[in-house]
Chain A
Amino acid sequence: MTMAKAINAGLRRVLAEDPKTLLMGEDIGKLGGVYRITEGLQAEFGEDRVVDSPLAESGIIGTSIGLALRGYRPIAEIQFDGFVFPGFNQITTQLAKLHMRSEGVLTVPVTIRIPFGGGIGSVEHHSESPEALFAHTAGLRIMTPSTPHDAYWMIQEAVASPDPVIFFEPKRRYWLKGDVDTEHRAAPAASAQVVRQGSDATVVAWGPLVPVALAAAQAAQEDGRDVEVIDLRSLSPIDFDTITASAQKTGRLVVMHEAPTFGGLGGEIAARVTERAFYSLQAPVLRLGGFHMPYPPSKVEANYLPDIDRLLEALDRSFAH
């Protein structure tokens, strides 16, 4: 099934299993969301559990916090990545901090689903990757799946978490198809997965860029380079053990994300791996990401987004050392 259907199925399952769960967001009811991720859920579970909210992101997050304080498990949808900012205050000053503020008395198990990333040919604010802004905020957990199977299980894991979770959905992969095993749970999000074994270099990617990394690794194989690919899956916490072990094995690491390179998570990963595996590295850890500019108009986004060629070029630079 597609990733869109997998998330829908995961949400249906949590709604069916836990009466305290509810969905809130703009256009998620009758319409089923602009990406139809919640299609059919309002008809099945009613308007009290799948709520078409007023059009206000701070309101969606703020009332989700209140519902969580009352014992509910709200799953809020932010329609597009670039529209999360009216709710940024509620996420960073309230949602992330209430557990600590109350000295552990209160928990706020709110899941915020955000379709993120570019490559969909849209207008401004519809293609952004703001994950670093949230990863920098203690108190939040951040996940992003790259396959339908992971999407199905990770959304359930997010909802079950006692902590707030930002669940980034790689929107250009909503129609990516894959097998979903609804019997056997995926590995916990906090463990990064080596999705391709290799011995010469490691590429870390997540969400929308995992298929790009895999395709580039395939291409590199033709040049005789055996590239390992890690799907990070959880962006807070980050599974540094898996990354470090891989980097120690291959000696070369490239971290790739759609978000601008400067101040991005790639820098954090590069620094940590350098601290942990300095003497195993044969080249500096390289970062590959968006340029330091607001996300560009869609006619030029193909040249902005890290793709197979840019990754191969980065690998060339790594191997040049």
Chain B
Amino acid sequence: MWGEIIGRRVVDTELTGTDTQAPFIQLLSPDGTRRQDPAWDRYTRDVDLEALRGFYRDMAATRRLDDEGTALQRQGQLVLWVPLKGQEAAQIGSGRATLPQDYLFPTYREHGVAITRGVQIAEMLRVFRGISHGGWNPASTGFHNYTMVLAAQTLHAVGYAMGVQRDQKGWEQERLAAEGGAVMAFFGDGASSEGDVHESMVFAASTQAPVVFFCQNNQWAISVPFEVQSRVPLVNRAAGYGFPAVRVDGNDVLAVHAVTRWALECARTGQGPVLIEAVTYRRGAHTTADDPTKYRTRHEEEGWDEKDPLLRLERHLRAAGTGDDFFEAVKEETDRMAAELRATALAFPTPALEESFANVYASPHPLVQEELAFYREYQAGFADGGAASDTTDREDAK
């Protein structure tokens, strides 16, 4: 009986005052038509055709990376890949709205955002090849390392923003608008149920820290649909904390870009936090260890195929006179990128466990030193026979 009641999951719109199909900002309709919306004109008027072609290039590179990641995993070259197919507009639109002085806290699926921050993608593959837990330098890119414990990074983002707020204390509005830093916290519809998201929004509202919460609602938390996480659109939650929020078509790169610029401007100029809910769809699996056919229908997936973010932008660009030569050039470019990635990834030197001892602590720790000394001695015992290797080469050779 309980199963039946829980199974229904009817959203009572009279009780909640809303429904799950709440309207959202859309500036490129699925057929590629660019809509004029005076409310967002300030954030889109300089996004001309050339800029949109740039977005397309980024989105195509992201998708090509994604396909390559999946292929490499299938071939046993990566331990795992986290696909993002379908979320390219949400990631490129938001990432391209950030400034160099901003700092971004991703989850573990923001490969597109990483591209916009200048992360060397080959370095990211180090994470998924089992070489490093971090992969790239977060300090030089302003793009934090991936956080795998859901939502933990949303609190780091708010704390970081509290630091930015202190560093910029006393700045004039003009200087804030030009040089001020802002912070972005990425998370998903699944993570929105975590307590840390709640606490991060409480702290952000309490401190008015310059942070933008960017939720990619891709409808699925591995196998669990969005309606299990929330009975109201996530955008509604911000009202409970007391800061503004906007719901945007996450497959519309122009709209995502516009709302993120607005949100970052709010944060940058001392107006406090903003929540963005980007409604999108995870077209692929949660990770390469997942099998979506077990929990969702092909019919549902086909419905979103038509709303694909690259397809939409391509339609717009073609209608605006962009020819085959552009798309062919992008394809060549991204194929070349993929080939280089593959070559670089396969050539990564296999690390030695010994290196892991180095970064447990920032200053010497006697136990780590003692165990390292033991480990070295133990390894040295194999020197003659060469039977034990400190690297995982022997695993690779299987």
Contacts and interface: CB of A to CB of B under 8 A. Distances in A.
A132 interface: no
B160 A70 contact: yes
Interface in A86-133: 86, 89-90, 93-94, 97-107, 109
Contacts of A240: 366
Contacts of B167: 70
A139 B158 contact: no
A64 to B, nearest CB: 6
A100 B363 contact: no
A66 B160 contact: yes
Q: Most B CB atoms within 10 A — which of A69, A104, A109?
A: A69
Interface in A58-90: 58-59, 61-72, 74, 86, 89-90
Contact of A59 (B133, B160, B199): B199
- The SS class assigned to the B binding surface is helix
Contacts of A216: none
A176 B164 CA distance: 40
Q: Most B CB atoms within 10 A — which of A53, A58, A61?
A: A58
Contacts of B169: 48
A238 to B, nearest CB: 7
A54 interface: yes
B137 interface: yes
B145 interface: yes
Interface in B118-171: 132-134, 137-139, 144-145, 147, 149, 152, 154-164, 166-167, 169
Contact of A237 (B199, B202, B365): B365
A277 interface: no
A109 B361 CA distance: 11
B367 A62 contact: no
B195 A66 contact: no
Nearest to A74: B159
B387 interface: no
A106 B361 contact: no
B203 A54 contact: yes
A183 B145 CA distance: 42
Interface string B170-211: 000000000000000000000000011001101100100000
Contacts of B359: 99-100, 102-104
Contacts of A139: 360-361
Nearest to B133: A101
B362 A104 contact: yes
Nearest to A63: B159
B358 interface: yes
A70 B361 contact: no
A156 to B, nearest CB: 15
Nearest to A139: B360
Contacts of B160: 66-67, 69-70
Contact of A161 (B149, B363, B367, B368): B363
A67 B159 contact: yes
B297 interface: no
Given A58-B155, A237-B366, A66 B162 contact: yes
A190 B366 CA distance: 9
24 contacts: A54-B202, A56-B202, A59-B158, A62-B152, A66-B155, A66-B163, A67-B163, A68-B159, A69-B159, A70-B160, A70-B167, A72-B166, A74-B159, A86-B195, A100-B360, A102-B134, A102-B138, A103-B133, A103-B359, A105-B134, A106-B138, A139-B361, A162-B363, A240-B366
Interface of B: 103, 132-134, 137-139, 144-145, 147, 149, 152, 154-164, 166-167, 169, 195-196, 199-200, 202-203, 206, 356, 358-363, 365-368
User: Which 3 residue pairs are nearest across A and B when measured between Cβ atoms?
Assistant: A66-B159, A62-B155, A70-B163
